[in-house]
Each structure stands twice: as C-alpha cells, then as structure tokens.
Amino acid sequence: MSAEPVIAQKGPYAVELKAGEAYYWCACGRSKSQPFCDGSHQGTGIEPVQFTAEKSETAYLCGCKHTATPPYCDGTHNKM
C-alpha cells in the first residue's frame, strides 16, 4: 500500500548541482533534508528518484512532490 506524498513546500527548491554527481530526490516529502532523501520514506511505498546531474548548474527541484517531470519542478504547485 502506497502513501500519498506529503507536500514539503509549495514551490521549487533552488539547488546547486555538480556535473556527473548522483543525487537522490525525496519523492515522499517526509525528508528533513529537502529536497534530498534522508531515508524517511521507509514504509511509505514511495522511493526516492536517483538522478545524475548532466551539468553544473542551479536546478529547481520539485517541492510539492506532484511534478510530472521528477525531480524537476514543472509548476504543478501553482495548481494546488
């Protein structure tokens, strides 16, 4: 049984990514180290999204956890 993701914040997190580095984006919304996973998803049925940064840049990662393009913000929070 999967839980619904918790809305961590209604807006994106601006984060500095480094090219070639692997990250784990929190998809459950329960992590204390948003927008990244800290293991708080255990038992929710929701797994973090692993991704590797293609380039070093400021990226806007989803905070509402309802994006159609995880881990990136697609503006879904504006409809909530």
| Tens of pLDDT, residues 6-49 | 999 999 999 999 999 999 999 999 999 999 999 999 999 999 99
Residue 62 near residue 70, CB atoms below 8 Å: yes
pLDDT of residue 70: 97
Residue given tokens 């070639």 in the structure block: 20
pLDDT of residue 30: 97
Q: Report the number of distinct structural domains present in the chain.
A: 1
pLDDT of residue 3: 85
Distance CA 45, CA 29 (A): 12
Q: Tell whether the model's pLDDT for residue 1 goes beyond 70.
A: no
Range of the domain at 32: 1-80
Q: Tell whether the model's pLDDT for residue 2 goes beyond 80.
A: no
